[in-house]
Amino acid sequence: MNIVAIIQARTGSTRLPDKVFLDLKGNPLIWHVFNRIKKSKYINSFVLATTKNKKDDRLENWALENNILLYRGNENDVLDRYYQAANMFKADIIVRITADDPLKDVDVLDSVINEFLIHNVDFAFNNNPVSFPEGMDVEVFKYNALKIAHLNSTDSFEREHVTQYFHRNPELFSKRNISNLQDFSNLRWTIDTLEDYKLIQIIYNKLYDKNKSFKFKDIILLIESNPKLATLNIYEKRSEMYKNKNLKI
């Protein structure tokens, strides 16, 4: 059983171009994403899935320099990019990771994979309903489920966001959601804007030198002791699953 993490990334973000190469404690953001999840107990290989756009040659070069597996595919049809990457690397199970989330916690990641394996479902996740901060998302699904979505989805939103076909067609897939005991989904820990980046910079500056693998609970303790941190990016546009969340910390 081959469990493959596919990390989607591109340099052409409209709100914050080249964000995956922003510096965090001397390394690019994307380096931290890979470094934080590579400690998984379950994942066999890690693939950078970027686009054929010439701008993303930089990502290809970075992957080659760091001995990271690479697939280049469709820029807008991310569902196809995942499907083709899964085919190339013969994935039985796919772990979906986005490259603008440098606070991923390997313990949270492995808990979702474990839930997936124990219950032998088509799709496991921790974001529907949401209870973790935005940016702490993990989604795990079978290759056969991905193939069904790829062959049947004709909706542009579904093809851009990969797993929406699973959520929108619950009768077709067995699913499990992992929820956190306390709802922290009002918090935003992903990077789309300069304000997002400033918050992540502060978190890294406070925690990284003490523990390079700092965890979800460490970030929560930091924010609870500095509540203003949670307000730094409160007005940024949120993804569909995290909209209409009031600030509470």
CB 85 within 8 A of CB 15: no
Q: Exposure pattern of 81-106 as b/e (b: 16+ CB <10 Å)?
A: bbbbbbeebebebbbbbbbbbbbbbb
Helix (H) or strand (E) segment spanning residue 198: helix 194-207
Ordered structural domains, the chain, with CATH: 3-177 (3.90.550.10), 194-242 (no CATH)
Assign residue 90 a region (left: φ > 0; alpha: ψ between -120 and 50; beta: otherwise). left
Which pLDDT tens digits describe the chain residue by residue (249 residues)? 999 999 999 998 777 889 999 999 999 999 999 999 999 999 999 999 999 999 999 999 999 999 999 999 999 999 999 999 999 999 999 999 999 999 999 999 999 999 999 999 999 999 999 999 999 999 999 999 999 999 999 999 999 999 999 999 999 999 999 999 999 999 999 999 999 999 999 999 999 999 999 999 999 999 999 999 988 887 666 566 655 554 443
Residue 248 pLDDT: 44
Burial class (CB in 10 A: 0-12, 13-18, 19+), 60: middle
* DSSP state for residue 10 in the 8-state scheme: -
Helix (H) or strand (E) segment spanning residue 8: strand 3-8
pTM above 0.85, yes or no: yes
